[in-house]
Amino acid sequence: MDVNAAVAAAAAIAGVLTGVIAMLAFRWSEREQKRPTRTSLHTDPVLPPGVDTVLSVLRSSAVVLDEADAVVKASSAAYALGLVRGGKLSVEPMLQMARDTRRDGEIRQVELDLPRRGTGRGEALAVSARVAPLGSRLVLLLVEDLTEARRIEAVRRDFVANVSHELKTPVGALSLLSEAVMDASEDPEAVERFAGRMQIEATRLTSLVQEIIDLSRVQNDDPLEDAEPVRIDELVAEAIDRCRHQAGSKQITMAAAGAAELKVWGNRGQLAAALGNLVENAVNYSPARTRVGISARRVAQPSGDLIEVAVTDQGIGISDKDKERIFERFYRVDPARSRQTGGTGLGLAIVKHVAASHGGEVTVWSSEGQGSTFTLRLPEAGAARDRALQHPDLDDEDGPTPESASYDPLPAPEVLP
């Protein structure tokens, strides 16, 4: 009897202990389920309300870090710049800024030069990084790409320096020549020789100032404000007439073909200056008794037909390293030859800006010793007019008809002495 009572008591005690253990295990399990994990800290709901929307519309690259330096949120631009890799911030100086800001709550900003992602040429990416606390646990990093701004600033500085240098040369020459004329007042032949040189330098100075004005105008003006249908054959004839004297003195033959009935839409003065610069360069950089050709044609494109005007010469050609820079302001392939021809180094820069402002482009093919071909591509008048419906006074004769959209072979070139 006593044995049975002892067994029953032991069983009761064991049941109570089992119940207590089960209850404790259940509560511990609930507490563990409610405890935030590392994964839950990295999800979007950790961000304060509205922050996700604000970050999505910022132009800057945005990265949000938690207390473990893990990336909670990063914009696509941050990935594109290579700031975030494998869920971590990959730029050590920025990571250290974030840690310092998390520690003391101070906003920090620094400019850095980062290696470009995916390039082996050592090009630097200039960025401005700003770090600020976001709530009690998060840190916000905003990165602005300054590369283009720095490039533009460098171009502006170079432009000012080059203008100063280019203006100083003819002005200095005029000053010296005027002194020489005064000293040679008793020698009529010397006076005539020095006066001739003064005229050359004055012409060069006038051309330089005019091209600086032209470049400033094409950069600041909207060519479509005063746009009109412009006939290609008229532009070609004007460019040839502009260079007729230089070509005749070197016995260079100029020939035109394919420009009849083709029209582009834009500012006539700017287009004439652009094509005139291409033809003038072709004449200046061609040897004597060679040929310069100007051809035009229509090229069908899904977005609208283009007019191609190609200027071909048999000149000295352009090296591969110079092709990348010939459209820069004041850049010359052959500086010594430019001094002989009176070139300013602004002609091709003007052509590039005119083409871009008219919705087109200019390209170059060249081989050293074999000559060059510069091709100016512009939207045809009929297609470009659709973008300028604010000119209702233009009738249907301003552009070619749909039936003429196909391109016919070029006729025999018209040789212009």
Which domains occur in the chain, in start order?
45-145 (3.30.450.20), 148-220 (1.10.287.130), 225-416 (3.30.565.10)
- Is the distance from CB of 358 to CB of 388 less than 8 angstroms? no
- Is the distance from CB of 415 to CB of 253 less than 8 angstroms? yes
Out of 19-23, 33-37, 207-211, 379-383, pick the least confident: 33-37
Residue for token pair 């392939």: 333
| pLDDT value at residue 377 | 93
Q: What does DSSP say about strands 253-257 and 228-231: parallel, antiparallel, or unpaired?
A: unpaired
Residues 236-245: b if buried by 16+ CB within 10 A, e if exposed: bebbbebbee
Tens digits of per-residue pLDDT, 363-385? 999 988 889 999 999 999 865 44
**Amino acid residing at 337:** R
Mean pLDDT of the chain: 77
Q: Is 302 helix (H, G, I), strand (E, B) or coil?
A: coil
Measured distance CA(235)–CA(240) in Å, rounded: 9
Burial label for 366, CB within 10 Å (0-12, 13-18, 19+), is buried
Residue 100 contacts by C-beta under 8 Å, 6 or more apart in sequence?
A: 106, 108, 131
Can you give the pTM of this predicted structure? 0.53
Q: What is the mean pLDDT of residues 88-108?
A: 89
Q: What is the DSSP letter of 60?
A: S
- Is the distance from CB of 281 to CB of 246 less than 8 angstroms? no
| pLDDT value at residue 345 | 74
Q: What is the mean pLDDT of residues 248-264?
A: 89
**Amino acid residing at 411:** P
Residue 40 has pLDDT above 50, yes or no: no
Continuous H helices in 228-372: 232-249, 268-284, 320-323, 335-341, 347-357
Tens digits of per-residue pLDDT, 321-339? 888 788 887 776 665 555 5
Identify each DSSP E strand in 135-273 by its residue range. 138-145, 228-231, 253-257, 263-266
Q: Tell me the C-alpha to C-alpha distance, in Å, between residue 376 and each of 214, 305, 354.
A: 18, 14, 10
More confident call, 343 vs 142: 142
Indicate the pLDDT class of residue 35, thresholds 50, 70 and 90. low
Out of 237-241, 277-281, 313-317, 398-402, pick the least confident: 398-402
Measured distance CA(384)–CA(380) in Å, rounded: 6
Measured distance CA(133)–CA(105) in Å, rounded: 6
Measured distance CA(71)–CA(211) in Å, rounded: 53
| pLDDT value at residue 292 | 94
| pLDDT value at residue 156 | 75
| pLDDT value at residue 24 | 62
Residues in the chain: 417
